[in-house]
């Protein structure tokens, strides 16, 4: 696996590149739909590939480990074959899910003991086990096991947690070197920068992570409740330290505005549940702003969902029809909304790539951001 940096914007730090994997080339900047349990909720793999045009999706180590379990995924030939998806996959390490189970887990130097949200059974994740599980799942990009700190977070706790994440990274890398991929494709380990919203900790973590010379690097522990200005400050700081020739992955971010702002700081890869989760509650992201499709104003609006939309749903269904489905609690409402939102996110990063290539990214971004914030 290798990253090819093609061009950096002259008026910002935005860049375009290609991440070459055994399952295909990923054009960056890219948004990665979240497929927690081996599925992007409500979307067929055919729609993901042909309509939404996803280039890479996420799987979730914690959820897949609990259900269906490695005893199902391994004999299937790994997650790619199990879900019949032949493009790249990235799996997180399970660290974030363990963080979200704050009432049902214990963190020690050895690893984390946590209680299953499914049946209450207890399990233990160590850095070594996180690598072994991700070897079995078979994702192209696998993440180091880390501790994600909450926001706000005490300085001393953030510091101790960051240092433990760094020690865990060394154990992850040792385990990667001791083991081989289980299937016929290469796997790359991305380490994760932590440090909460403290500049000195973020800088120290970025320098430490950069020193390991991984194929790519991730920025974790953001988008956990901090204000946008702190998200941007930490992202900009970290991107100024990380090597330019390696892809940068900002985990769990974010809104369409967040994506454009962070692309301008030099981020290459994003994932977030927002487009799919918000779709399930009737929120549509469009090129002209945000729509709550359940509002009465759309009741007799027979226009297309998004005149600039790239998905078949945008030209096939009207706002009035989607409102009717949503108010009637029809499953099709969630499917249409999810396909639309994911298509929009993939369209947005594709447009960003085109404008970086053309040299007018900043001008385009400044036109788009007020529109994206607009509530229609």
Exposure on the CB side of residue 361, measured as CA atoms within 13 A = 28
Distances (CA, A) of 273 to 187, 220, 278, 291: 24, 15, 8, 18
Please provide the DSSP assignment of 140-197 as one string. SEEEPP--PPPSS--HHHHHHHHHHHHHHHHHHHHHHHH---SSSS--EEEPEE--TT
Give the full edge-to-edge strand order of the sheet including 105-107.
105-107, 112-115, 122-125
Distances in Å between the Cα of 221 and the Cα atoms of 96, 146, 317, 318 are 9, 9, 38, 39
H helix intervals, the chain: 45-50, 61-66, 70-76, 79-83, 95-100, 127-137, 155-178, 199-211, 228-241, 256-263, 274-279, 312-316, 319-327, 331-358, 361-373
Query: Exposure of 75 by Cβ count < 10 A (0-12 exposed, 13-18 middle, 19+ buried)?
Result: exposed
pLDDT band at 99 (very low <50, low <70, confident <90, very high): low
pLDDT at position 301 is 98
Q: What residues contact residue 204 under an 8 Å CB cut-off, 6+ apart?
A: 162, 195
CA distance 336 to 279: 8
Residue pLDDT, tens place only, 30-42? 999 999 899 999 9
pLDDT value of position 94: 80
At 365, give phi and psi (nearest 5°): -60, -45
- Per-residue confidence (pLDDT) for residue 85, from 0 to 100: 98
pTM of the model: 0.97
**Tokens 């690598």 sit on residue:** 131
For residue range 166-208, list pLDDT tens digits in order: 999 999 999 999 999 999 999 999 999 999 999 999 999 999 9
pLDDT in tens, 277-297: 999 999 999 999 999 999 999
Catalytic residue IDs: 92, 271
pLDDT of residue 106: 85
Banded model confidence at residue 105, pLDDT cuts 50, 70, 90: confident
> What's the confidence (pLDDT) of residue 334?
97
- As a whole-number percent, the residues of the chain with pLDDT over 70 amount to 98
pLDDT in tens, 295-311: 999 999 999 999 889 99
Q: Is the pLDDT of residue 25 over 90?
A: yes
Is there a contact between 143 and 190 (Cβ–Cβ < 8 Å)? yes
- 136-163 in b/e burial notation, b at 16+ Cβ within 10 A? bbbbbbbbbbbbbbebebeeeebbebbe
Structural domains in the chain, CATH included, are 2-271 (3.20.20.105), 273-376 (no CATH)
How does the average pLDDT of the chain come out, rounded?
96
User: Is the pLDDT reported for residue 359 higher than 80?
Assistant: yes
């Amino acid at each position: 696996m290798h990253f090819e940096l093609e061009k950096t914007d002259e008026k910002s730090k935005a860049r375009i590149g290609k991440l070459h994997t055994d399952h295909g080339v990923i054009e960056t900047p890219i948004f990665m739909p979240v497929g927690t349990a081996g599925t992007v909720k409500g979307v067929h793999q055919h729609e993901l590939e042909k309509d939404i045009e996803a280039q890479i999706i996420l799987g979730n180590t914690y959820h897949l480990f609990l259900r269906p379990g490695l005893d199902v995924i391994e004999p299937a030939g790994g997650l790619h074959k199990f879900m019949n998806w032949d493009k790249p996959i990235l799996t997180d390490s399970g660290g974030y899910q363990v963080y979200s189970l704050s009432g049902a887990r214990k963190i020690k130097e050895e690893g984390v003991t946590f209680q299953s949200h499914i049946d209450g059974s207890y399990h233990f994740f160590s850095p070594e086990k996180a690598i072994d599980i991700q070897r079995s799942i078979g994702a192209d990009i696998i993440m180091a096991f880390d501790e994600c700190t909450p926001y706000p977070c005490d300085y001393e706790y953030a510091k101790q947690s960051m240092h433990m994440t760094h020690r865990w990274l060394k154990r992850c890398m040792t385990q990667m070197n001791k083991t081989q991929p289980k299937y016929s494709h290469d796997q790359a380990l991305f380490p994760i920068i932590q440090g909460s919203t403290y500049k000195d900790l973020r800088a120290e973590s970025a320098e430490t992570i950069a020193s390991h010379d991984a194929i790519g690097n991730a920025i974790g522990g953001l988008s956990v409740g901090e204000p946008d200005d702190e998200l941007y400050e930490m992202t900009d700081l970290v991107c100024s330290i990380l090597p330019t020739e390696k892809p940068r992955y900002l985990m769990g971010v974010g809104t369409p505005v967040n994506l454009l702002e962070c692309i301008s700081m030099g981020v290459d890869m994003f994932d977030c549940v927002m487009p799919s989760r918000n779709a399930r509650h009737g929120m549509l992201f469009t090129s002209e702003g945000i729509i709550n499709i359940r509002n009465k104003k759309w009741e007799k609006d027979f226009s297309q969902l998004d005149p600039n939309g790239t998905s078949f749903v945008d030209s096939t269904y009207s706002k009035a029809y989607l409102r009717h489905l949503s108010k009637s609690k029809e499953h099709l409402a969630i499917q249409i909304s999810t396909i639309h939102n994911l298509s929009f996110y993939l369209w947005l990063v594709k447009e960003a790539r085109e404008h970086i290539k053309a040299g007018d990214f900043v001008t385009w971004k400044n036109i788009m951001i007020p529109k994206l914030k607009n509530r229609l």
